[in-house]
Structure 1
Amino acid sequence: MIVSGQAHTVLPDDGRVVTMGVIQMRVLAAGEPTTGGAFSLVEFTGQQGPWTVPHLHRRMEESFFVLDGDFTFEVGDEKLDTGPGSYVLIPRGVRHMIRARGSGTLLGLMVPGGLEEMFFELGRLPADSITDPAVRAAISARYDSVPV
Structure 2
Amino acid sequence: MENPKKSPITVGATEGKAFSVVGDTYRILVGGAETNGAFAAIDMLIPPGGGPGPHEHSQIEESFYVIDGEIEVKSEFGEYIATKGSFVNIPKGGVVHGFKNKTDKIAHLLCIVVPSGLETFFEEIGKPVGYDEFLPPPPMDPESVKKLLAIAEKHGQKVYPPNYLDKIDKPEHS
TM-score (norm 2): 0.74
Does the aligned pair in 2 maintain the 1:20–1:127 contact within 8 Å?
no
How many residue pairs are counted as aligned between the two chains? 144
Aligned CA-pair RMSD:
2.4
2:137 aligned to which of 117, 124, 128 = 128
Query: What's the CA shift string for 1:60-113, capped at 9, x where partnerless?
Result: 110100011110001223100011100000012100001012311110001100
- Paired letter, 2:157: S
* Aligned mates of 1:130, 1:147 — CA distance in 2: 16
Identity of aligned residues (%): 29
Structure number with bigger Rg: 2
Matches within 5 A, 1:22-37: 22-32=23-33, 34-37=34-37
Please name the residue that 2:166 is paired with. none
Please name the residue that 1:88 is paired with. 88
| Structure with higher strand content | 1
Structure 2 gaps, min length 5: 1-5, 129-134, 161-174
Query: What's the CA shift string for 1:13-66, capped at 9, x where partnerless?
Result: 21111123521011111111x100000001000211241121111111101000
Please name the residue that 1:12 is paired with. 13
Structure 1 gaps, min length 5: none
TM-score (norm 1): 0.87
* Aligned mates of 1:120, 1:61 — CA distance in 2: 19
